[in-house]
C-alpha cells in the first residue's frame, strides 16, 4: 500500500496544474480587470499551493469576488468561468488542508454552477478532484464514479489533458482494490500506457513523468525489476531535464526500493540518499518517511545495527508527522459532507461551517497531542529499555569473550606443558642412557684394573687406559654438546651476524677434521671454489658444518668419500654435505631434529649418536633465519643441507637484542 499511496500523491497535484482559461469571447472589461489579468493572477495563486495555503486561499477568494462582481454587472460569461476557476482553486486549498467536509461542499456548488453555464472543463476538473478525495478516504466505489464522470466529460469536450489524468487515476484505482490479483496489475498497466500516450500527444511533461512513475510502480509490484527500472529512469531523466524535482524525488525513492528488492544494497542506499536530499528541498514528508524506512531495512539486511536503528527512528519521527491528520476524522467529514451533496448553497455557506470545523479541529488537535505525547513516552521507555538491554548484552558478550579467551589460553598452556613434560622426560632418558653408558664403561675398566692389576702387562694396561681416555673424551664431548644445546635453546649465546664468506668457513672446518677423516680413510671433497657470501654468525655456522661433517665421516664406510657443494639462487645459498655411508631409514628421517624422539644411530665404527648434535644444528640455523633438511636412503648415504640468506634480514637489529 505504501507504493500506491505515493503514486496517488502525484495525482492530487496534477489537476491543479492544468486549470485552463476559456479562449472564447475574450472581451476586455478594462485593462485592470481584463481576462488576461485574471489569468495571470490565477497562475500566480496556483504557485502558492505548495508554499502557503492560507495566502493561496485568500488570493483565490479575492479573485473570485472580483471576477464574479464583473460578471454580475456585465453578464460576460467568460468572467463567470474565471470566477469558478478561482473558486475551484479556493476549494482545493481546503482539500490539501484535510478539511474534507468544506472542500466537498465547495466542489458540489462549483460543479453545479459550471453545469449551469456549460463550463464542462471545470466539471471534469472538479469530478477528478472529487475522485481523488474519495480515493484518499478509501471510498473506492465513489472514487471510480467520479473518475468516470471526469473521463466522459473530457472525452465529450475532447480535452486530452484531463483524459490523461482521469485514465491514470483509473489505473491507480485498479491497484488499490483490497482483494486483487495479477489481472488488476495488467489492467492498471493498460490505463497507465493510455495515459502516457495522451500526455505524449499534448507534450505535457509532468503528465509523462507521472505515467512513467506509475508504470514503473506496477512493474515493481509484479516483480519485473528490469521494466520497472527502465520506466523509473525515464521518469527521473524527464524530471531532471525539466527541473521538476518534486516529481523526481518520488522516483528516486522507488528506485531505492527496487534496488533493495534486487539485493543491490549499495545502489539502494545511493538512491535513498538522493531521494532524502531532494525531498527535504521540496518538503516531501511522505518521500522522507519512505526513504528512511528503506534505509533502515537495507542496513538491517547488511547487519549494520547502528545505522538501521538510526534510520528506523527517523522513519518513526516522520511517520508521526504524517499521521497528524486523523483518518477516521476524514471519514466522518465525508459522511457529513454527503448529507449536503445535493443542496444548492452559495459560497457564503463556508462561513457557517467554518466555526464548527475550527471547534472540531481544536478538539481533535488536543486528542492528537495527547496521543503524540503518549507515543513519545512509550518510545522513550522502549528506547531506554533497548539501550539498557544492548548494554547488558554487550557486557555479557565481553565477559563471555574474556572467559572463552582464558579457557583457550589455559588449554593451550596445558597442551604446551604436556608437550614440555613429555620432551623433558625423553630428554632425561637420553641423558641418563648416554651418560650412564660411558660412565659404566669407565667404571668397569677401572674396577678391572684395580682388581687384577698384577696380571696385566704394560700393553694391556695401555690399551685399557686408551679405552678409558676415549670413553672420558666422548663423555666430555657429550656434556659439552648438552651445554651448547641448552645455551642456544635458551638464547644465552653471543649472536653476531655479519656478511661472511662461506668458503672460508668451510675450508677452516675441513682443516680441523682432516686427521679425523684420515683415520677412517675418508676423502673430503670440497667443491666450493669461488667466494660465496651469506649473512650469518661465522662461529655458529662453523659449529654446524663441523657437526654435520663429523657425522658424515663417522657414519661413512672406510675408504669412502664426503662431498661439500653449494646450490644458489638470487636470494639464498644452500650448503650440502653428502656422504656414501650407511644412510637412514625413511621412518628415522622423520624423527630427526625432534627432542621428543630417540635419534640414536649406530655407525660402521660401532659409535652412537645421541641426536643432540642435530638439535643443536637446527637451533643455530633457525637463529640465523635459515632452514636445515636431510635426504637419505638406507644403505646409500645421506645429504644434510642448510640454507642461509645472502643479505641482511630486516629484523636483524631486533635479533641482536634477543640473543645478545
534 burial via Cβ count (<10 Å: 0-12, 13-18, 19+): buried
Give the mean model confidence (pLDDT) for residues 591-616. Answer: 61
Mean pLDDT, to the nearest integer, of 27-43? Answer: 70
Alpha helices in 242-348 (DSSP H): 245-261, 265-282, 285-301, 305-322, 327-338
What is the predicted pLDDT for the residue at 347? 39
What number of other Cβ atoms are within 10 A of residue 242's Cβ? 14
Q: Compute the distance between CA of residue 334 and CA of residue 46 in angstroms, rounded to an integer.
A: 25
Residue 216: other Cβ atoms inside 10 A: 29
Instruction: Report all structural domains of the chain as residue ranges with CATH numbers, in order of start.
Output: 244-324 (1.25.40), 492-659 (3.30.565.10)
User: Higher confidence at residue 530 or residue 29?
Assistant: 530
**How far is residue 458 from each of residues 77, 449, 454, 464, 468, measured CA to CA in Å?**
158, 12, 10, 10, 15
Q: What per-residue confidence (pLDDT) applies to 373?
A: 93
Residues 292, 298, 299, 301, CA torsion sign: positive
Cα 285 to Cα 390: distance, rounded to the nearest angstrom? 31
- What confidence category does residue 90 fall into, taking pLDDT thresholds of 50, 70 and 90? very high
pLDDT band of 456, cuts 50, 70, 90: confident
Q: Are 146 and 131 in contact (CB under 8 A)?
A: yes
Mean pLDDT for 147-171 is 87
Q: What is the pLDDT of residue 181?
A: 66
pLDDT at site 23: 37
- Is the confidence at residue 442, as pLDDT, over 80? no
The grid cell for 623 is: 637463529
- Average pLDDT of every residue of the chain: 78
Look at residue 524 in the predicted model and tell me its pLDDT. 92
Q: Which residue has the higher pLDDT, 470 or 161?
A: 161
For 272-283, the pLDDT digits (tens) are: 999 899 988 888
Largest CA distance in the chain: 167
Kindly report the pTM of this predicted structure. Answer: 0.45
Could you tell me if 124 and 150 are in contact, meaning their C-beta atoms sit under 8 angstroms apart?
yes
Amino acid at each position: 500500500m505504501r507504493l500506491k499511496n505515493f503514486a496517488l500523491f502525484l495525482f492530487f497535484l496534477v489537476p491543479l496544474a492544468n486549470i485552463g482559461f476559456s479562449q472564447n469571447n475574450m472581451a476586455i472589461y478594462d485593462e485592470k480587470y481584463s481576462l488576461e489579468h485574471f489569468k495571470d493572477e490565477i497562475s500566480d495563486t496556483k504557485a502558492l499551493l505548495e508554499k502557503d495555503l492560507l495566502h493561496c486561499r485568500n488570493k483565490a477568494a479575492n479573485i473570485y469576488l472580483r471576477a464574479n462582481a464583473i460578471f454580475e454587472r456585465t453578464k460576460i460569461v467568460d468572467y463567470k468561468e474565471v470566477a469558478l476557476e478561482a473558486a475551484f482553486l479556493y476549494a482545493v486549498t481546503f482539500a490539501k488542508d484535510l478539511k474534507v467536509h468544506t472542500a466537498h461542499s465547495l466542489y458540489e456548488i462549483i460543479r453545479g454552477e459550471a453545469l449551469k453555464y456549460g463550463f464542462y472543463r471545470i466539471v471534469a476538473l472538479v469530478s477528478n478532484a472529487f475522485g481523488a478525495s474519495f480515493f484518499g478516504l478509501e471510498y473506492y466505489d465513489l472514487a471510480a464514479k467520479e473518475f468516470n464522470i471526469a473521463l466522459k466529460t473530457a472525452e465529450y469536450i475532447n480535452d486530452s489533458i484531463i483524459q490523461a489524468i482521469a485514465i491514470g487515476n483509473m489505473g491507480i484505482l485498479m491497484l488499490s482494490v483490497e482483494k486483487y490479483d495479477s489481472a488488476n496489475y495488467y489492467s492498471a498497466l493498460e490505463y497507465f500506457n493510455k495515459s502516457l500516450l495522451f500526455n505524449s500527444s499534448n507534450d505535457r511533461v509532468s503528465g509523462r513523468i507521472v505515467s512513467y512513475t506509475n508504470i514503473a510502480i506496477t512493474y515493481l509490484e509484479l516483480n519485473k525489476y528490469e521494466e520497472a527500472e527502465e520506466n523509473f529512469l525515464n521518469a527521473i531523466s524527464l524530471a531532471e531535464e525539466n527541473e521538476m524535482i518534486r516529481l523526481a524525488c518520488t522516483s528516486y525513492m522507488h528506485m531505492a526500493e527496487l534496488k533493495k528488492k534486487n539485493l543491490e544494497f549499495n545502489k539502494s542506499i545511493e538512491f535513498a540518499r538522493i531521494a532524502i536530499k531532494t525531498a527535504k528541498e521540496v518538503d516531501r514528508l511522505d518521500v522522507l518517511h519512505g526513504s528512511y524506512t528503506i534505509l533502515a531495512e537495507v542496513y538491517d539486511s547488511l547487519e549494520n545495527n547502528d545505522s538501521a536503528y538510526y534510520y528506523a527512528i527517523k522513519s518513526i519521527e516522520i511517520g508521526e508527522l504524517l499521521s497528524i491528520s486523523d483518518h477516521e476524522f476524514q471519514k466522518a467529514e465525508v459522511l457529513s459532507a454527503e448529507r449536503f451533496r445535493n443542496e444548492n448553497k452559495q459560497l457564503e455557506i463556508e462561513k457557517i461551517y467554518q466555526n464548527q470545523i475550527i471547534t472540531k479541529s481544536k478538539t481533535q488537535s488536543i486528542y492528537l497531542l495527547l496521543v503524540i505525547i503518549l507515543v513519545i513516552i512509550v518510545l522513550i521507555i522502549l528506547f531506554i529499555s533497548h539501550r539498557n538491554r544492548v548494554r547488558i548484552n554487550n557486557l555479557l558478550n565481553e565477559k563471555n569473550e574474556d572467559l572463552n579467551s582464558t579457557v583457550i589460553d589455559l588449554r593451550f598452556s596445558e597442551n604446551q606443558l604436556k608437550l614440555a613434560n613429555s620432551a623433558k622426560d625423553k630428554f632425561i632418558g637420553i641423558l641418563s642412557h648416554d651418560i650412564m653408558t660411558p660412565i659404566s664403561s669407565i667404571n668397569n675398566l677401572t674396577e678391572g684394573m684395580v682388581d687384577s692389576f698384577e696380571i696385566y702387562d704394560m700393553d694391556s694396561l695401555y690399551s685399557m687406559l686408551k679405552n678409558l681416555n676415549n670413553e672420558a673424551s666422548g663423555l666430555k664431548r657429550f656434556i659439552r654438546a648438552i651445554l651448547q644445546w641448552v645455551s642456544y635453546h635458551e638464547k644465552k649465546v653471543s649472536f653476531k651476524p655479519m656478511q661472511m664468506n662461506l668458503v672460508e668457513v668451510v675450508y677452516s672446518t675441513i682443516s680441523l677434521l682432516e686427521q679425523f677423516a684420515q683415520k677412517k680413510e675418508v676423502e673430503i671433497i670440497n667443491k666450493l671454489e669461488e667466494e660465496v657470501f651469506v649473512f650469518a654468525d661465522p662461529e655458529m655456522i662453523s659449529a654446524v658444518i663441523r657437526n654435520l661433517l663429523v657425522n658424515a665421516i663417522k657414519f661413512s664406510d672406510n675408504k669412502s668419500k664426503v662431498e661439500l657443494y653449494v646450490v644458489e639462487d638470487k636470494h639464498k645459498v644452500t650448503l650440502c654435505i653428502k656422504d656414501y655411508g650407511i644412510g637412514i631409514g625413511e621412518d628415522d628421517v622423520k624423527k630427526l631434529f625432534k627432542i621428543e624422539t630417540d635419534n640414536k644411530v649406530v655407525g660402521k665404527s660401532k659409535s652412537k649418536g645421541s641426536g643432540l648434535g642435530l638439535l643443536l644444528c637446527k637451533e643455530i640455523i633457525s637463529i640465523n633465519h635459515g632452514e636445515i633438511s636431510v635426504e637419505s636412503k638406507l644403505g646409500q648415504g645421506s645429504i644434510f643441507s642448510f640454507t642461509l640468506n645472502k643479505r641482511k634480514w630486516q629484523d636483524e637489529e631486533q635479533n641482536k637484542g634477543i640473543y645478545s
